[in-house]
Amino acid sequence: MKRLVLCCLLALGPLAIGLPVAAAEQAPTGAQSIPWSSLSSAQQQVLSQFEPRWSQLPAERQLALSRGADRWGTMNDAQRERAKGRFQRWQQLPEPRRERARQRWNQFQKLPPDEQARLREDFRQFRQLPEDRRAELRRQWQQKSAPERQQMLQDLRNRRLQRQQR
């Protein structure tokens, strides 16, 4: 069970691009090592399998794991079940799709905060559409060439700007 919890924590960051959940923060370059004894008892419990090799982990990894343990501790049972489900789906993805998701997440992280917020809102609205409409939009997207997709995105942006100007 602890292994599944840990794996869920580790998987949440890259999945956030596809499922905007709390974004995993990047550790600052040159972060300082976190002593095991400075972790809270809740963090130590979630991360117990790392204790024997904690001091050998890079500081950035320690920071990411400690933050993940904090997030896990704030989740309710339903949120934890959703996180477990996302991780199980992540594990089933072929490696090329995982890599593409990681690349998209990195691209998303490089966007300005206002653009990230806009994309999150777009995704929220998309998820509120009926399933048949979402399936139709996915089908249309997949049938388009790269230039047609770019034009489709530009048209959507233009419509959004027009609505905002009214």
Predicted local confidence at residue 165, as pLDDT:
86
- Candidates 132, 122, 92, 97; CA nearest to 14 is 97
Predicted local confidence at residue 29, as pLDDT:
55
Predicted local confidence at residue 30, as pLDDT:
63
Predicted local confidence at residue 56, as pLDDT:
94
Phi then psi for residue 73, to 5 deg, are -65, -25
Distances (CA, A) of 130 to 96, 118, 137: 29, 21, 11
Predicted local confidence at residue 139, as pLDDT:
93
Predicted local confidence at residue 52, as pLDDT:
94
Predicted local confidence at residue 164, as pLDDT:
81
User: How many residues are there in the chain?
Assistant: 166
Predicted local confidence at residue 31, as pLDDT:
73
Please, what are the averages of pLDDT over each run of 10 residues along the chain (166 residues)? 45 39 44 91 93 93 92 94 92 94 93 92 91 93 91 85 84
Round to whole Å and give the CA distance between 30 and 18: 29
DSSP string, the chain: -HHHHHHHHHHHHHHTTTS--SPPPPPPTTPPP--GGGS-HHHHHHTGGGGGGGGGS-HHHHHHHHHHHHHHHH--HHHHHHHHHHHHHHHHS-HHHHHHHHHHHHHHHHS-HHHHHHHHHHHHHHHHS-HHHHHHHHHHHHHS-HHHHHHHHHHHHHHHHHHHH-
